[in-house]
Amino acid sequence: MTDHRKTAGRTQLPLLAVTLGDPVGIGPEITARTLADPANAAFGRGLAVGDAAVLRRAVEVCGLDVRVRAVGAPGEARWEPGTIDVLDLGIAPADLPWGRVDAVAGRSAVAAIEAATRAALAGEVDGIVTSPINKEAIWAAGSQHLGHTEMLGELTGAAHVDTMFVVRGLKIFFTTRHLALRKALDHITEERVAGSIRHAVTALRVFGHDEPRLAVAAINPHGGEGGHFGDEEIAVLRPAVAKAAAEGLGVVGPVPADSVFHQGLEGRFDGVLSHFHDQGHIPAKTVDFDGTVSVTVGLPILRTSVDHGTAFDIAGSGRASHGTMSAAFRAAAGFSRCADRIRAAYGTAAGR
Amino acid sequence: MTDHRKTAGRTQLPLLAVTLGDPVGIGPEITARTLADPANAAFGRGLAVGDAAVLRRAVEVCGLDVRVRAVGAPGEARWEPGTIDVLDLGIAPADLPWGRVDAVAGRSAVAAIEAATRAALAGEVDGIVTSPINKEAIWAAGSQHLGHTEMLGELTGAAHVDTMFVVRGLKIFFTTRHLALRKALDHITEERVAGSIRHAVTALRVFGHDEPRLAVAAINPHGGEGGHFGDEEIAVLRPAVAKAAAEGLGVVGPVPADSVFHQGLEGRFDGVLSHFHDQGHIPAKTVDFDGTVSVTVGLPILRTSVDHGTAFDIAGSGRASHGTMSAAFRAAAGFSRCADRIRAAYGTAAGR
């Protein structure tokens, strides 16, 4: 139970901090559209986090009929109809050029993540939803981080952070992600896969599956067909699955990768462990491009995000689709019921 | 225009030869269900090819209320309501044990493919649809082939044969298929990709796209992100695409593989060239498992098939789903309008 709920004294819709991301990317626009969309208001209450001036400009370029109301603390938000409350940082002005790397924009993006994370750690919001940032901009602003995940890990003192995709209820995990495919194959060892299985099963439990059923994807065609088409299944995956199953974890596999996602979407599994970026990305984004949500697992706070970038090429045009952002917002609202489990599983002294 | 149509003297539904596959696998059952399904009869007329005794047993285990009528030649088929016509080979009896490798079953499976192919080459049918066969059974029967594709290639004298997947209108091609993933990566050269692009663009034209738009999938995450995550895009794919584009072919890429299938299904491309088995299989089968049809490209005849196996474990139980077989039947019916183009593009002296 978070503080604002205690204060309210009755069950309310979850409260989510939504960062604007890079002020000159599409983040402010998709945040404005998401928080102005009445269909999303049925799922949760959103508090924008960033610069009020930047959000006002986004509302304007999107042609939205909503008012932006700056607040100094989450507790001041009122969620009045036709209004978007924004925790105002007062860093970036409204006249930064769209779609250009900018140190002030980077500073604003970093500050929004920090403010949203603080609010979540303090229990002032039930979770955070993040808009895309630009690496070069945050570096220009003095940040050393590679992106959101590293930053959030440090801010919360998390020991180990993973990405989990959620698409149509199926949860997809990754043994490796941002590696060249050849390097990924070298990286996939029995020990790493066994570790990924443990992390995935824990995540499934934390995110609502009391008796998790995880399937491990194969790597080679037809699951290697008994070693005819590669031996990773025999040498790496089967021993890792056997080890995890012997520990009592609900895991099966390797299952041929061209069937396992179909079976998962049919409800046969709660989660699928894929082994490289596109192996998990392809099924999710092909089945539901806009509905694929990224959840950061391992933080003591709930965080969802879009998986796309700042789209500098169309920023400021009002053309950016807020489909994925809406999905990320709704997913966070749904997972807010897991907030206590998330804190219990991933909370650390260092992070609080 | 094929012979039987000339004889009929009016436009009729396409006529498709449907092989029973291995008599002790699920082939006879899915063929019986497909040809007994009134919803399929609106698309084409099916002539089963195999043993009448085997088909009768399948009708029985499936509990279908249809009669099996043995014919000696395609021209004798009558397509009477409640009847399945079968070009009877008289090889396998009705009492072979289900789900066991059997030389007689293998001989029947091979003979059905030969008979269907002969009928298609002679213009007696508009195309063939094949049920799964068992490799060991055809080897036990003396065949040296690895499977359908090799056999059909030899029977028709085809110079080069590819597999094309069709799912929801999108056509998916493969640079490599039945290779371990590591070997596939070694196999993907600029020359091979350029060749695959040419074959794919030709196939798109033959199968109804007058101005084909092909996208080439990337191999690494984010398409390699400028070489940060692997160099296959820079060293192999881009030059191959550039070469093909310079030849006037409608090809773009490499496009990140987690977006390209989504974009293709949205209609931005007619076809996608994937580079290894699961890269193309995963999106197709995850989006529409039953609706993914395999088309053999490069033969002078039209051939579609299911992509699954004989399922010996459930053969004879009447439980096999005919979803994919129905999709293969309907796809063949649809592509029968391309029969002339197929013959013109892939017909060779050796094959006729």
Torsion angle defined by CA atoms of residues B110, B112, B113 and B115, in that order, rounded to the nearest 10 degrees: 120
Does A168 touch chain B if contact means CB atoms closer than 8 Å?
Answer: no
The answer on pLDDT for B329 being more than 70 is yes
Residue of A28, A15, A12, A23 whose CA lies nearest to A66: A28
Q: Are residues A182 and B285, on separate chains, in Cβ contact within 8 Å?
A: no
- Per DSSP, which regions of B13-104 are E strands? 15-19, 45-50, 67-71, 83-88
Residues of chain A positioned with their CB less than 8 A from the CB of B258: 277-278, 281-282, 284-286
Between chains, do B230 and A180 touch, taking CB under 8 Å as contact?
A: yes
Of the partner residues A180, A256, A262, the one whose CB lies closest to the CB of residue B220: A180
A286 touches B at CB < 8 Å: yes
Angle made by CA atoms B171, B172, B175, in degrees to the nearest 5: 145
Average pLDDT of B292-310? Answer: 95
Q: Measure B86 CA to nearest chain A CA, in Å.
A: 33
The amino acid at residue A109 is: A
Domain boundaries, chain A: 1-159+321-337
A257 touches chain B (CB under 8 A): yes
Per-residue model confidence (pLDDT) at position A175:
97
What are A50-107's pLDDT values in tens digits? 999 999 999 999 999 999 999 999 999 999 999 999 999 999 999 999 999 999 999 9
User: Which of A168, A286, A308 to substitute to test the interface with B, most B CBs within 10 Å?
Assistant: A286
Per-residue confidence at B11, pLDDT binned at 50, 70, 90?
low
Distance separating alpha carbons of residues A95 and B58, to the nearest angstrom: 73
Interface test with A, best of B165, B175, B258, B261 (most A CBs within 10 A): B258
Q: β-strand A15-19 against A127-130: which pairing, if any?
A: parallel
Q: What letter does residue B57 receive in the DSSP assignment? A: H
Cα radius of gyration (chain A): 21
In whole angstroms, give the CA distance from residue B250 to residue B177.
23
Burial of B66 (0-12, 13-18, 19+ CB in 10 A): middle
- Radius of gyration over alpha carbons of chain B, in Å? 21
**How confident is the model over B42-89, as pLDDT tens digits?**
999 999 999 999 999 999 999 999 999 999 999 999 999 899 999 999
* Cα separation values, A283 from A257, A291, B9, B285, B293, Å: 10, 12, 47, 9, 18
Structure confidence at residue A1 (pLDDT): 39
Contact B55, B48 (CB under 8 A): yes
- SS3 for B278? helix
Q: Is the pLDDT assigned to residue B2 strictly greater than 90?
A: no
- Least CB-CB distance to A282: which of B230, B257, B277? B257
With CB atoms and an 8 Å threshold, state whether A282 touches B283. Answer: yes
CA distance A115 to A105: 15
Nearest CA in chain B to A167: B286
Higher local confidence (pLDDT), B226 or A276: A276
If you count residue pairs, one on A and one on B, with CB atoms under 8 Å apart, how many are there? 109
What distance in Å separates residue A255's CA from the closest CA in chain B? 12
Selected residue of A181, A234, A255 to mutate for chain B interface (largest B Cβ count, 10 A): A181
Residue B308: the pLDDT is: 86
The answer to whether the CB of B315 falls within 8 A of the CB of B26 is: yes
Interface residue of B136, B168, B181 to substitute, partner A, most A CBs within 10 Å = B181
CATH architecture observed for domain A1-159+321-337: 3-Layer(aba) Sandwich (3.40)
Give the Å distances, CA to CA, from A324 to A30, A130, A132, A308: 9, 11, 12, 8
Q: Could you give the CA distance from residue B341 to residue B280 in angstroms, rounded to a whole number?
A: 25
B192–chain A nearest CA distance, Å: 19
B262: which DSSP letter? H
Question: Using CA atoms, how far apart are residues B63 and B59, in angstroms rounded to an integer?
Answer: 6
Q: Which of these, B92, B48, B97, B124, lies nearest to B329 by C-alpha position? A: B48
**What length does chain B have?**
352
Distant-in-sequence, close-in-space partners of B105: CB < 8 Å, separation ≥ 6: B22, B23, B24, B92, B96, B134, B137, B141
Indicate yes or no: CB of B179 within 8 angstroms of CB of A278.
Answer: no
Give the span between the Cα atoms of A127 and A2, in whole angstroms: 10
* Sole residue written with tokens 């959000």: A55
Confidence band of B324 (pLDDT split at 50, 70, 90): very high
How far does the CA of residue B178 sit from the closest CA of chain A (Å)?
A: 6
Write down the pLDDT at residue A351: 39
Contact B330, B182 (CB under 8 A): no
What single letter denotes the amino acid at residue B139?
Answer: W
Read off the pLDDT of residues A300-326 as tens digits, 9 standing for 90 and up.
999 999 988 999 999 999 999 999 999
**Nearest residue to A203 (alpha-carbon basis) of A245, A170, A247:** A170
- Beginning with the edge strand found earlier in the chain, give each strand of the sheet holding A251-255 in spatial order: A67-71, A83-88, A45-50, A15-19, A127-130, A303-305, A293-297, A162-167, A170-174, A271-274, A214-217, A251-255
Q: How confident is the model at residue B348 (pLDDT cuts 50, 70, 90)?
A: low
Distance in Å, alpha carbon of A258 to nearest chain B alpha carbon: 4
* Alpha-carbon separation of residue B54 from B48, B93, B326 (angstroms): 11, 7, 20
For B286, nearest residue in chain A (alpha carbons): A262
Residue range B312-321, pLDDT digits in tens: 999 999 999 9
Residues in chain B within 8 Å Cβ distance of A232: 181
**Nearest CA-CA partner of B175 in B192, B153, B158, B156:** B192
> Could you tell me if the ipTM is greater than 0.95?
no
Give the mean model confidence (pLDDT) for residues A37-51. 96
Longest dimension (CA), chain B: 64
The mean pLDDT value of chain A amounts to 94
Confidence of residue A2 (pLDDT cuts 50, 70, 90): very low
Question: What would the pLDDT profile of A220-243 be if each residue is shown by its tens digit?
Answer: 999 998 899 999 999 999 999 999
Instruction: Name the token pair of A40.
Output: 């999303």
Q: Is A187 on the interface with B (CB under 8 A)?
A: no
Q: How far apart are CA B169 and CA B198, in angstroms?
A: 20
At residue A348, the pLDDT reads: 62
pLDDT on residue A125: 97
3-state secondary structure chain A: CCHHHHHHCCCCCCEEEEECCCCCCCHHHHHHHHHHCHHHHCCCEEEEEECHHHHHHHHHHCCCCCEEEEECCHHHCCCCCCEEEEEECCCCCCCCCCCCCCHHHHHHHHHHHHHHHHHHHCCCCCEEEECCCCHHHHHHCCCCCCCHHHHHHHHHCCCCCEEEEEECCEEEEECCCCCCHHHHHHHCCHHHHHHHHHHHHHHHHHCCCCCCCEEEECCCHHHHCCCCCCCHHHHHHHHHHHHHHHCCCCEEEEECHHHHHHHHHCCCCCEEEECCHHHHHHHHHHHCCCCCEEEEECCCCCEEECCCCCCCCCCCCCCCCCHHHHHHHHHHHHHHHHHHHHHHHHCCHHHC
Question: Which of B229, B232, B276 faces A179 most closely, judged by CB atoms?
Answer: B229
Please tell me if residue A323 touches chain B, with a CB cutoff of 8 Å. Answer: no
- The Cα–Cα gap between B163 and A237 comes to 29
- Cα separations in angstroms, A123 against A45, A47, A338, A346: 15, 14, 13, 15
Query: Pick from A185, A262, A282: which is nearest to B289 by CB?
Result: A262
- Compute the distance between CA of residue B36 and CA of residue B105 in angstroms, rounded to an integer: 23
Q: What is the mean pLDDT of chain B?
A: 94
Residue B352 CA to residue B156 CA, distance in Å, equals: 7
Mean pLDDT on B117-131: 97
B135 touches chain A (CB under 8 A): no
Output the six-digit token pair for B300.
């002078």
Tell whether the torsion through CA atoms of B3, B4, B7 and B13 is positive or negative: negative
Answer for the pair A305, A339: CB distance below 8 angstroms, yes or no. Answer: no
Q: Is A227 in CB contact (< 8 Å) with chain B?
A: no
Distance CA A41, CA A47 (A): 11
Which tens digits make up the pLDDT trace of A329-342? 999 999 999 999 99
Contacts of B163 in chain A (CB under 8 A): none
Chain A hits for B278, Cβ within 8 Å:
221, 256-258, 279
Task: Judge whether A262 is closer than 8 Å to chain B, CB to CB.
Answer: yes
Query: How many Cα atoms sit within 13 Å of B251 on the Cβ side?
Result: 31
**Structure tokens given for B145:** 């082939």
The stretch B169-189 carries a mean pLDDT of 96
B256: which chain A residues are within 8 Å (Cβ-Cβ)?
Answer: 278
Whole-Å CA distances, B174 to A227, B127, B273, B278: 22, 23, 6, 10
- Assess A180–B contact: CB distance below 8 Å, yes or no: yes
Q: Which residue(s) pair with B294 in the sheet?
A: B165, B305
Which chain A residue's Cα is nearest to B231? A180
Residues B172/B274, Cβ–Cβ less than 8 Å? yes
**Gap between the Cα atoms of A266 and B285, Å rounded:** 12
At B216 the pLDDT is 98
CB atoms within 10 A of CB A151: 21
Query: With contact defined as beta carbons under 8 Å apart, do B275 and B176 qualify?
Result: yes
3-class state of residue B168 by DSSP: coil
Q: Do A229 and B259 touch (CB under 8 A)?
A: no
Residue % of chain A over a pLDDT of 90: 91
